[in-house]
Structure 1
Amino acid sequence: MKTEDRSGAAASGTAASKTVDRQERFDLIRGRVGLALGPVGFALVLLTALGLPWEQRALAAVLVLVIVWWVTEAIPLAATALLGIVLCVFLGVADEDTVFGAFGNDTIFTFLGGFVIARSMTVHGLDRRLALRVLSVGGVVRSPARTVVAFGAMAMCISAFISNTATVAMLFPIGIGIVRAVSAISTDKGGQDLHGSRWSTALMLMIAYGASIGGLLTPIGAPHQLIGRDLVEEQTGKTINFVEWVLLFAPIVLVMFAALCVVLLRLNRPEVSELRGAEAYLAEQRAEFGSFSRGEANTCVGFAVAVVLWTAPGIGSLVLGEEHDFVVLMHEHLTEGVAAILAATVLFLLPLDRGDATGRRAPTLTWAEAVKIDWGVILLFGAGTVIGSLSSETGLADTLGTSLADHLGVSSLVSVTILAAVAGLVISETTSNTASAGIVVPIVVPIAMAVDVNPLIPGLVATAAAGYGFMLPVSTPGNAIVYGSGMVPMTKMIRSGFVFDLIGVTILVAGTLLMAQVVGI
């Protein structure tokens, strides 16, 4: 390796180390402040909200504590979630059967099945193989602009079925490898080191932002969407199935992606017109995979089963009608949770080989591999469901909705939807997407109901906006990952994120209001 290349890599590593240190200091201060503010807010509500019935007052106090600790991440989000539901029982908001029964929710099993399928993709390298294959098509990586767009398109499509964080974690090292390969050749020929270039910044941001907007394509694309959708359904009594979700948000996501490409390439215009060495790097990476493995093939089968079962009830409704006996049967018995578990089970049934001398056959996915999923998200979802349902049952949601609607002066579907989008966006900039959805949706839906407008639209917009957060490294894990590369200066992330926040919220609000009429929500 040339001296210039080593120094460039060292500089990049030093910058990444500094960004990590700043991030850790910020998180430490935020956590300490939140750790103190949470109990203070809890006590103040209990002592001062004397005009509310005890169940509403106690639940409001729990809600304040949970929100403060979720926003500041004073303790792990899942631990806060468990404390919140335990306090609901302890303070007499509801009995233990009502509270703990939320973990029997169908969406819990949708999480489990989806996480297991995504885990199998990672274990067998199917996701990475697909990414490398797409980048190798038609000389895509010879062009800086096409490379950025291609990474964004992959991030968008993959995150529709795998968590945004996992998508970024998978594409990030491929992007880093391409930047290093191109930079090495460029510096050898006396050209520019592209580690800290505008092009590398655009590439890193595209990976993170593309995954964030792509997760919106399907309800299983991001955990916060299943949480938000369930909270909306719990409070409104109306359901949004897989097909309806895709029909509603797919056009919005495509428009957002086109806008994202324009924003990132305009604000971070590539310095070079050609990327030399990128194709050779991809060829080396693809050669390491070899032929398509049995594990990859089996994972494709499991994934296909999931998609067919998830979409069957919705497609049946469109083709045969909602009242057809078979369609009614599917809606009652082939729920998304049932479909997810059936598809995940396929991975434990399909073997990788013919077996050893004893006849034992290794499954596509072992239980030891499967359990390495994010159980914390499941606990967080259960807590969000409990708090959302109890808000309705105790009357707290109605009280909050009426009060906030009067104070904020919102009275139309458009104004409530804009409020939902802005609230979801602002909170998601400083806390996790799952926590943002759990905070915003239970507040926005009652406001919509208080002013007598369709609560589904602002509820779904709040859920979608909770997955935004493009300005800061703390906004999403994907942002933090690419920021840690040392290729994304804070000023560029803030500038690019701010511009896309404004454009994205506009597209989200206008698009949802329009598509809701088309889909009939």
Structure 2
Amino acid sequence: MIEGADARAVATASSEAEACFDRTRAKVGLVLAPLALIGLLLLPMPGLSPAAHRVTAIAGMTVVLWISEAIPLAISALLAPTLAVVLDVAPAQQVFAPFAHPLIFLFIGGFMLAQALSVHGFDRRAALWLMTRKFVRGSPARSMIVVALTAFGFSMWINNTATTAMMIPIAVGLCTSIRKLCPPDPETLAKQRRFEEGMLITLACAASIGGLCTPIGTAANMIAVAELDHFVGIRIDFLQWMTYAVPVSVVSLLAMLVLARRRWPPALDYVEGLTDSVQRELDALGPMSCAERRAVCVFGVALIGWLAPSLLRLSLGEDALATAWAQRALPEGVVAMIAATLLFVIPAEPRTRDGDRPALMTWTRAATIDWGTVFLLGGGLALGGLATDTGLARAIGTAVDAWLGESAPPLLVLLVVTALVIYMTELVSNTATVSMLLPIIIPLGVQAGGDPVALVLTATFAASFAFMLPVSTPPNAIAYGTGLVRLPTMVSFGARLNLVGLLVLIAAGAWLLPAIRSL
């Protein structure tokens, strides 16, 4: 086991090697991207309309840019629709319309709500509070479970990168506390080092899995919702998504925890004073502030608004006036913007002596949300819309269907698509992967004769199952960046978890999701 300065040296060397690889990849991408655009424009493509041909060239260039990250992903997403206008695929008003899609505003509002909870410290307080529960009391094994469950729960509502960044100091602090109380013999310390790797890796994996649970958990989810609405006219609301996603993500989380528990047993079964150290951190935060309570209340308002249409439909029926009004007047994006606006109106604290009453959120803070992901989401929707409108997506679906064979069973299509997405997203962001593949997957699912919704949801879930490499997801990168996680350990565990995840997703797509949809 590499320890101390040696571990930091290995982590630094690995980081330098990765940086060198990224620079080389970017340089290659800058050359290949224009070549892909020009080459595909010149390549004869019989059977495609001129507009579909040009969209193919733009998509090929965009894929190269997304894989190579030669320029920021968000700029690549903006460049694609811009070129579509320049190459006369469609007018600018049509091409850029997806950037005003209601889901864009759901994402913006969700980011602002998460920012408010973080700025006022509620997320850290809630995480520390969970770590002090009696269930954890002195048990390193149970502390690993609670760390993972906390990351899973927060990433349902907060960006998984922010969740991991918040939880990493807590997890590292726990590991340090346990290590200090371990007997100083080499065997116990080596076992503890392995356990620390396990805690950080399970934290990163749990944050990625938790993002499946809600439409706002990750941008890929919202792209799937928008594409299903656009391609096949099926609208999935907030509660319906959770009905599909929560069972899959819970089973995946449990499978991950079982693998982790077998792979990384703790060095000690019980550590005296472990919970007390976390309790001291929680006590140092003091009582819950007025701003925290008000931020939580605004988030509660948003949650009620997101669930209201589904709850009214279930309680009053589809034809009730209240249900019809809620479905028209309370789309998720509108609810998110109402809640976000409240953050700028509701004061953070009671009036001070000088009469100043700062709001829960300021524009300076709001401007720091991840606008790049917002642009990436819009660009993905725009590219998917162009592929549909020009007939490109249908042509690709027909070609892939012919490659698989006309008699290819839906289960084979599901297996091929899910495996492709899982391993592609190890190197490409889940948002980019879903943006590239869903316009192909949806018509493929329709032509294969299966349930396109189940296929799309399974593929979207698979895009969050990237566990092998530090570059696969930001949570993986953050965990690896601590210097406590070795690359072979992450690759080995991630490969096993990918295989387990593939089995879970195939079972979900073939039986669970269709069964839920039939209820």
> TM class by shorter-chain length?
over 0.9
Equivalent in the alignment of 1:434:
431
Aligned to 2:517: 520
- Within the candidate set 361, 364, 389, 1:393 is matched to 389
CA contact (8 A) 1:124 1:296 kept: yes
Give 2:203's aligned residue.
207
**2:65 equivalent to 1:42:** no
Structure 2: unaligned runs, 5 residues or longer: none
CA distance in 2 between partners of 1:413 and 1:239 (Å): 22
* Aligned equivalents of 2:485, 2:459: Cα separation in 1: 28
What's the RMSD between the two structures over aligned residues?
1.9
**Distance of 1:195 and 1:163 partners within structure 2:** 32
Q: Which consecutive residues of structure 1, in runs of 5 or more, have no partner in the other structure?
A: 1-6
Query: For each residue in 1:320-370, what CA deviation from the matched residue of structure 2 results, as whole angstroms up to 9, or x when unmatched?
Result: 222222211111111000011111222222212233445331111111111
| Contact residue 58 and residue 93 of structure 1 kept, 8 A | yes
May I ask how many residue pairs the two structures share in their alignment?
Answer: 515
* Residue range with higher mean Cα deviation, 436-445 or 505-514: 505-514
The equivalent of 2:470 in structure 1 is 473
Pairing of 1:55-204 with structure 2 (within 5 A): 55-138=51-134, 140=136, 142-186=138-182, 192-193=188-189, 197-204=193-200
Q: Give the match for residue 412 of structure 1.
A: 409
2:28 aligned partner = 33
Find 2:8's aligned residue among 13, 16, 19. Answer: 13
The residue type paired with residue 13 of structure 1 is R
Matches within 5 A, 1:443-482: 443-482=440-479
Q: For residue 212 of structure 2, give the secondary structure of its aligned residue in structure 1.
A: helix
Q: In structure 2, what residue type is equivalent to 1:31?
A: A
Identify the residue that residue 382 of structure 1 maps to in structure 2: 378
CA distance in structure 2 between the partners assigned to 1:13 and 1:121 by the alignment: 33
Asked whether the equivalents of residues 200 and 479 of structure 2 are also in contact (C-alpha less than 8 Å), the reply is yes
Counterpart position of 1:362: 358
Offset of residue 316 of structure 1: 1.2
Distance in 1 between the 2:9 and 2:118 partners? 29
Aligned partner letter, 2:362: T
| 2:292 matched residue in structure 1 | 296
Matches for 1:472-511 after TM superposition, within 5 Å: 472-511=469-508
Provide Cα deviations, 1:422-453, integer angstroms capped at 9, x if missing partner.
12111110011111111121221121123343
State the Cα deviation string for residues 396-423 of structure 1 (Å, max 9, x = none).
Answer: 0111000011113373332222222112
Secondary structure of the structure 2 residue equivalent to 1:138? coil
* Displacement after TM superposition at 1:29 (Å): 2.1
Letter in 1 for 2:251: V
Q: Secondary structure of 1:217's match? A: coil
* Distance in 2 between residues matched to 1:303 and 1:321, nearest whole Å: 27
Pairing 1:180-259 to 2, within 5 Å after superposition: 180-186=176-182, 192-193=188-189, 197-259=193-255
- Is 1:22 matched up with 2:17? yes
**Cα shift at 1:224:** 1.7
Secondary structure in structure 2 of the residue aligned to 1:372: coil
Residues 451 and 514, structure 2, Cα contact 8 Å, conserved in 1 = no
Distance in 1 of aligned mates of 2:184 and 2:517: 59
Secondary structure, counterpart of 1:449 in structure 2: helix
Whether the 8 Å contact between 1:179 and 1:194 is mirrored in structure 2 is: no
Conservation of the 8 A alpha-carbon contact between 1:472 and 1:479: yes
**In structure 1, what is the Cα distance between the partners aligned to 2:142 and 2:468?**
24
1:320/1:244 Cα in 2 relative to 1: closer, same or farther (>3 Å)? Answer: same
2:349 is equivalent to residue 372 of structure 1? no
Q: CA deviation at 1:507?
A: 0.8
Q: Kindly state the Cα deviation for residue 516 of structure 1 after the two structures are TM-superposed.
A: 2.5
Question: Aligned partners of 1:107 and 1:193: how far apart in 2?
Answer: 49
Aligned-partner Cα distance in 1 for 2:260–2:496: 10
Q: Answer with 451-460 or 142-151: which moved more.
A: 451-460
Deviation at 1:221, TM superposition (A): 1.0
Q: How far apart are 1:31 and its partner, in Å? A: 1.8
Identity %: 33
Deviation readout 1:258-290 (Å, 9 max, x if unpaired):
111111121223333233553232122112200
Q: C-alpha deviations, 1:199-253, integer Å up to 9, x for none?
A: 1111011110001111111111112211222123211211111111111111111
Normalised by the length of structure 1, the TM-score is 0.95
- Residue deviations 1:447-481, cap 9 Å, x none? 11233432211111111111111111111010011
Q: Which residue is 1:280 aligned to?
A: 276
Deviates more, 1:122-131 or 1:401-410: 401-410
1:240/1:32 Cα in 2 relative to 1: closer, same or farther (>3 Å)?
A: same
Deviations 1:55-111 (A, max 9, x none): 011000000111111112111000101111100111111100001111110001100
Q: Hey, what does 1:424 align to over in structure 2?
A: 421
- Give the letter aligned to residue 461 of structure 2: A
Measure how far apart 1:136 and its partner are: 0.6
Stretch of structure 1 that moved more, 235-244 or 48-57? 48-57
Give the Cα–Cα distance (whole angstroms) in 1 for the partners of residues 450 and 249 of structure 2. 25
Tell me if the contact between 2:414 and 2:509 (Cα under 8 Å) persists in the aligned partners: no
Aligned residue number for residue 4 of structure 1: none
Amino acid at match of 2:517: G
Counterpart AA for 2:24: I
Cα distance change on mapping 1:358 and 1:17 into 2, 3 Å? same
Residues 506, 188 of structure 1: CA spacing in aligned structure 2 closer, same or farther, 3 A cutoff? closer
